[in-house]
Amino acid sequence: MAKDASGHPEVDKDWDVPYQPADFLDLDRASIPLTGKTPAPALVEFVHQLITAEGPIHEEVLLLHAREVLHLKSFTSPRKKLVLAAVEQLVEGGRVAVEGDFFDLPGRPCRYARRPFPGLTKRTVERVAPAERRTALAGLIHDEPGRPYGEVVADAVRFFGWTPGTPGAKSALASDLYRLRDQGRIAGWPDSLVVQASS
């Protein structure tokens, strides 16, 4: 792993970015049919573009954003099934990877942690991919090395727009920190955390 000027392992300086839904201003919504028994090629490509722009994206967020982009008041069960069938086609074709309830491009590392954009609804803990939470934790540790475990967790809670009372936030982030430690990506456990250079 490369090191920065201060001798710390290099982390992408732009790991902290605002979460913004994908921009589909030029999309011809009429060209994306949501009828039939199997998804039309245009729907499959639209879903792929959405995952490319927003992955790792939770299944429910994908459905929500697809509905918003297509200007639909509601998503009936048949329409949801078509969108998920499009995802399935992409997975079978090797164009999309699945990890739990999240979709992303195969082999794409999670380089960014996305903080809530002002005015938009914050994602719940369950809708932020573990890889993205770990990117935030590693970024926070890199930016301010030598802090204790509890401080880093509290910072990550604030980063994602949650509060100390947000259900599952602290436990999920604590689990992510343990994972980073067990993978050898952080050292100084638990009182003086630093990003660990790989050998």
| Residue percentage of the chain with pLDDT more than 70 | 92
Question: What's the rounded Cα separation, in Å, for the pair 134 and 164?
Answer: 18
Give the pLDDT score at 193: 97
Closest by CA position to 96, among listed 40, 63, 55 = 55
Question: What's the rounded Cα separation, in Å, for the pair 14 and 136?
Answer: 11
Residues contacting 171, CB < 8 A, separation 6+ = none
- Give the model confidence (pLDDT) of 9-58 as tens digits: 445 568 999 988 888 888 888 899 899 999 999 999 999 999 999 999 99
- Give the model confidence (pLDDT) of 55-101 as tens digits: 999 999 999 999 999 988 888 899 999 999 999 999 999 999 999 99
- Give the model confidence (pLDDT) of 108-159 as tens digits: 999 999 999 887 778 999 999 999 999 999 999 999 999 999 999 999 999 9
Residues contacting 4, CB < 8 A, separation 6+ = 10
User: What is the pTM for the complete model shown?
Assistant: 0.87
Whether the bond between 190 and the residue before it is cis, its omega within 30 degrees of 0, is yes
Long-range contacts of 130-135 (CB under 8 A, 24+ apart): 130/100, 130/172, 130/176, 130/179, 131/56, 131/99, 132/56, 133/160, 133/172, 133/173, 133/176, 134/110, 134/176, 134/179, 134/180, 134/185, 135/15, 135/110, 135/111
Question: What's the rounded Cα separation, in Å, for the pair 92 and 111?
Answer: 25
Res. 4: pLDDT tops 70: no
CB 102 within 8 A of CB 59: yes
Give the pLDDT score at 3: 41
Describe the chain by its helix, strand, coil percentages, rounded to 5.
45, 10, 45
Give the pLDDT score at 13: 63
Other CB atoms within 10 Å distance of the CB of residue 6: 6
Q: Mean pLDDT for the chain? A: 90
